[in-house]
Chain A
Amino acid sequence: MARIELADIQKKFGLVWGVRDVNIDIADEEFIVFLGPSGCGKTTTMRMIAGLEEPTEGEIRMDGEVMNDIDARDRDVAMVFQGYALYPNMTIYENIRFPLRMRGVPRAEQDALVRQAAGLVELTDYLDRKPQALSGGQRQRAALARAIVRQPQVFLMDEPLSNLDAKLRQAMRVQIKHIQRQLRITTVYVTHDQIEAMTLADRIVIMQSGAVQQIGTPDQIYNDPANTFVAGFIGAPPMNLIAGRLADGTFTAPGLRVTGLPERRGGKVTLGIRPEDCHVTVGADHLQGIVFGVEPTGETTYLTVKAGEKLVEVKADRDFRADLDTPVAVGFDTTRLYLFDTASGDRLR
């Protein structure tokens, strides 16, 4: 229920840049995910939206109103923390009620709101327990309920699922998305897990070293990466990035030759190809190498091919098996090749 604009946001910690030149316009009801490795500035950006950090420069606006000088407690945002941050001395009921109490919601309404929020995350039976008596997943849901309970303008979630095991994480992901759609609250979500980003986001903001690398829908990020960082960060296993040379429309690297490429420029170029756009062929093809490893996962088999010194990941048929060090040829789907400038990492379009 709020549009958030970040305009030329800079954050410096002493002499170190935390966040540089961040410009993002988050639409009302949008689910936006900040994705990046640790230390990339995503959490700092979120904390600035929350009002827990002040930007060194730039403006944060919510529904057009400048928020920079407004204290965290006066911004209508609710935050879910990585470590849940449940108040240990209070029961789950009191935890969920805390924001209502702080914001002066009439006592008579508090109980119904607490129970409603607890119901949404299926915690009704645990209301009189202390946080220590709950499992990780339950604590997570309690933290979520505490954020939901006062129906804020904005949800901020800082790696809320990173302390859960894989199975629970998947279940909670679905819950979070469902609740967000149900309540239609603008949500900013920070994670380093690209699966979470891909599955949850309306749009993903990829950050590295304090700077935004690309903003786009999950499809755009996946199919149209702006640079080698984005290309290599998204996808599991990630995109193969092979450094080589481009001349006369032909890309060459040890064991690798791709012809018929658009001849926009030559020189040192990095070729990107996703494992699923590679296929094992009989006879010579784009890539000649030897089998370095075979990993059957059941639904598919990942084949690692060694060409020169480079290891290339290939998604092969589920039945594919091969001995180590046997020669293998791999063909690429040439419509899904990406070329990047090796020096800058930028995409060549």
Chain B
Amino acid sequence: MASMRKKSRGDNLVLRYAILGAWALVCLLPVLWFLSIGLRPRTEIITPQPIYWPTFSLDAWHMIWSDWPMARYLRNSVLAIIGSVLIDLVLAIPAAYSLSRYTYRGRDDIGFYILSTRMMAPAIVAIPIFFLFRNAGLLDTIWALMLIYAAINLSFVTWIIRSYMLDIPKELEDAARTDGASDLRILWEIIIPAILPGIITASVIAMIFAINEFLFTLLIASTSQAYTMSVALANFTGGSDGVIYNAIALVAFLAFVPVFIVVVAIQKHLSRGLTMGAVKG
């Protein structure tokens, strides 16, 4: 009886892995597809006949590194994104703490205003922002990208962190206060560790938005000084060579990899964070 149960459970496990594996493959298919495009010679990509055994080629790889300052684009992306997430956290954590813990007039309205910045179409503010940054002398710098990415993501980072803070029992803070901790201490030693999954979740989502950001980056970055991966992709579409599909695919893949690695590395926190926010937020 026991062995039977064990066996059936084993079968079940195999089935489970098979289904999950199949699903993972479906999800990964587009990624593998553009990776395969990126590693093929140009001539093979644009033929109308399907090619079942593609030729492996590093043409695009060599091209993006030698003909284009891809390393700088990558560096720009990474710096701008990390910087923007840090700015977001520094601003969002105190804001969320205030919104979730103190009672004052208009608190809920302020919370809503913060969220509402996310509701307008980005194009509406594109021109004013261009002038704003031009007057500040920030055009074509990574600093400008950090600021703009931070501004785009700040509202929902604040909102996610706030929902996590609301879940922390008030008792915990009362205990810390009677134990002799100041407000800042409480925030630093009690609250932040307790909402770490939320902070990580918000940061990862902010990173994903930032790495995909195109409109404002294009507006602000006019030379390779501040070009990021997402804008660099546009380089491969308009030139005398026509659309360079394999380079686009490869750069897209390179933009995808860092986020993928981060997500896998902190997967445990992330899944907990997303579900927690979903249920209780």
- Chain A residues with CB under 8 Å of chain B are 47, 50-52, 71-75, 77-79, 81-83, 85, 87-89, 98-99, 102-103, 146, 156
Contact = CB atoms under 8 A, between A and B. Distances in A.
Interface stretch (B178-186, B229-237, B238-246, B257-265): B178-186
In this complex, the member of B174, B179, B180, B181 whose beta carbon has the largest number of chain A beta carbons within 10 angstroms is B179
Contact of B172 (A78, A85, A99, A103): A85
A79 B175 contact: yes
A230 to B, nearest CB: 30
25 contacts: A50-B178, A51-B178, A52-B174, A52-B178, A71-B177, A73-B177, A73-B178, A73-B181, A73-B182, A77-B178, A78-B178, A78-B179, A79-B174, A81-B175, A82-B171, A85-B169, A87-B176, A87-B193, A89-B194, A89-B196, A98-B181, A98-B189, A99-B179, A102-B185, A156-B178
Interface string B68-92: 0000000000000000000000000
A141 to B, nearest CB: 15
A98 B178 CA distance: 11
A40 B83 CA distance: 52
Given A78-B179, A99-B179, A102-B180, 16 more contacts: A47-B174, A50-B174, A50-B178, A51-B177, A71-B177, A73-B182, A74-B180, A83-B169, A83-B171, A85-B172, A85-B175, A87-B190, A87-B193, A89-B194, A102-B185, A146-B179
B149 to A, nearest CB: 29
Contacts of B172: 85, 87
A81 B179 contact: no
B164 to A, nearest CB: 13
Given A73-B180, A98-B179, A81 B174 contact: yes
A52 B193 CA distance: 23
Contacts of B182: 73
Contacts of A74: 180
Contacts of A146: 175, 179
B171 A85 contact: yes
Q: Interface centre among A75, A85, A99, A146, by most B CB within 10 Å?
A: A85
B273 to A, nearest CB: 15
Contacts of B178: 50-52, 72-73, 75, 77-79, 156
Interface residues on B, range: 10 to 19
A51 B180 CA distance: 11
A156 B171 CA distance: 14
A98 B171 contact: no
Nearest to B192: A89
Of B181, B185, B194, B196, most buried by chain A (CB within 10 Å of CB) is B181
A52 B171 contact: no
B171 A72 contact: no
Contacts of A98: 176, 179, 181, 189
Contacts of B181: 73, 98, 102
A103 B171 contact: no
- Binding site secondary structure of chain B: helix
Interface string B160-173: 00000000010110
Contacts of A103: 180
A81 B171 contact: yes
Nearest to A143: B175
Q: Which of A47, A50, A102 has the most CB of B within 10 A?
A: A102
A246 to B, nearest CB: 49
Contact of B180 (A83, A89, A99): A99
Contacts of A75: 178
Contacts of B190: 87, 89
A60 to B, nearest CB: 14
Nearest to B175: A85
A98 B190 CA distance: 11
Closest 4 pairs (CB-CB, A-B): A102-B180, A89-B193, A85-B175, A99-B179
Contacts of B176: 87, 98, 102
Contacts of B174: 47, 50, 52, 72, 79, 81, 85
Contacts of B196: 89
A52 B177 contact: yes
Contacts of A99: 179-180
Contacts of A81: 171, 174-175
B167 to A, nearest CB: 12
Nearest to A79: B178
B194 A88 contact: yes
* Most chain A beta carbons < 10 A, residue from B174, B178, B190: B178
Nearest to A146: B179
B173 to A, nearest CB: 9
Nearest to B190: A87
Nearest to A81: B171
Contacts of A102: 176, 179-181, 185
Nearest to A103: B180
A52 B194 CA distance: 21
Contacts of B194: 87-89
A82 B175 CA distance: 11
A51 B175 CA distance: 11
B169 A72 contact: no
Interface in B92-138: none
A87 B180 CA distance: 14
A99 B180 CA distance: 6
A327 to B, nearest CB: 54
Contacts of B169: 83, 85
Contacts of B175: 79, 81, 85, 87, 146
A102 B172 CA distance: 15
